Amino acid sequence: MRIATWNVNSVNARLPTVLAWLEAAAPDVVCFQEIKTIDEKFPREAFERLGYNVETHGQKTYNGVAILSKFPLSDIRRGLPGAEGAGPDGADDDQARYIEALIEAPVPVRVGAIYLPNGNPVGTGKFPYKLAWFDRLNAHARDLLALEEPFVLCGDYNVIPEAVDAKNPADWVGDALFQPESRAAFKALKWLGLSEAGELGEQPPGTYTFWDYQAGAWQRNNGIRIDFHLLSPQAADRFRGVETHRDARDMDKPSDHVPVVIELDMEEVAAPSASLRAA
């Protein structure tokens, strides 16, 4: 099973590019972030024609996440638990940043699509909102781990975990993505017992997933790695590889992010995890 994550930065604005990549890469499951549309205006039929079942959690103009799957989807969750009073202004959190579904494959796997808050500017309420959202994700991941089933939490985490994950780390010192608190929150999530696919697959330094549209970042390879798959132990045992589709950044009208795809062996009997290697 191939599971992709991709911040598409407006699905309707980039639909031909997104469809072209899907036809070429043919992932079984796709998690989109920043679809930037309400559910009713998501181009569902275009993806259904490619054989995908579609579930969305949209929002007008901003945010929005979706899961596409060539297998049936069930047990849909829209939004993280703990939304009451958790918004950046103290109101209930109504931002569309999380959707989860059980992928009804022969060996089912649960997948969560994540668009974690950016948190900038650091000196505003947006940064505590980011950290509180991390805390809610951590609590939900604990609950999922208790189920002892294969699951994957993937998406745009809006965090640069280590200096090696940025071409020029000094450029990000004042940014919410590289603050010690953000990096510690990401590590705390992994320390629950989750494995990060790039580490499992031994992706080399300089494997970036985002290049800003400004200042020639793409042309100078001034990128950062902020898009991740975190795997439960039961999913990590089935991990077979990871690919970062860098060439998607060079497509017509690209997103500023590129897709990252993992492969899981979802046969009834998984091979030992010691055989994990990059795709």
Q: Which residues are annotated as a binding site for Mg(2+)?
A: 7, 34, 156, 158, 256-257
Tell me which DSSP letter residue 210 carries. B
- Which of 28, 93, 156, 237 is an active site residue? 156
Backbone angles phi, psi at 76, to 5 degrees: -75, 135
Q: CA 105 → CA 51, 75, 151, 208, 217, distances in Å? A: 14, 13, 13, 30, 39
- The enclosing H or E element of 220 equals none
Distance CA 51, CA 34 (A): 22
Tell me which DSSP letter residue 83 carries. -
Q: Catalytic site residue 156? A: yes
- Which of 52, 98, 115, 157 is an active site residue? 115
Backbone angles phi, psi at 237, to 5 degrees: -65, -20
- CA of residue 93 relative to chain centroid, distance: 20
Q: CA 276 → CA 198, 200, 238, distances in Å? A: 11, 7, 8
First CA to last CA across the chain, in angstroms?
Answer: 13
- The enclosing H or E element of 261 equals strand 260-264
Binding residues: 7, 34, 156, 158, 256-257
Q: CA 212 → CA 158, 171, 221, 253, distances in Å? A: 13, 12, 10, 13
Return the ∠ at Cα 84 (arms to 176 and 192), rounded to 5°. Answer: 55
Q: Return the active site residues.
A: 115, 156, 257
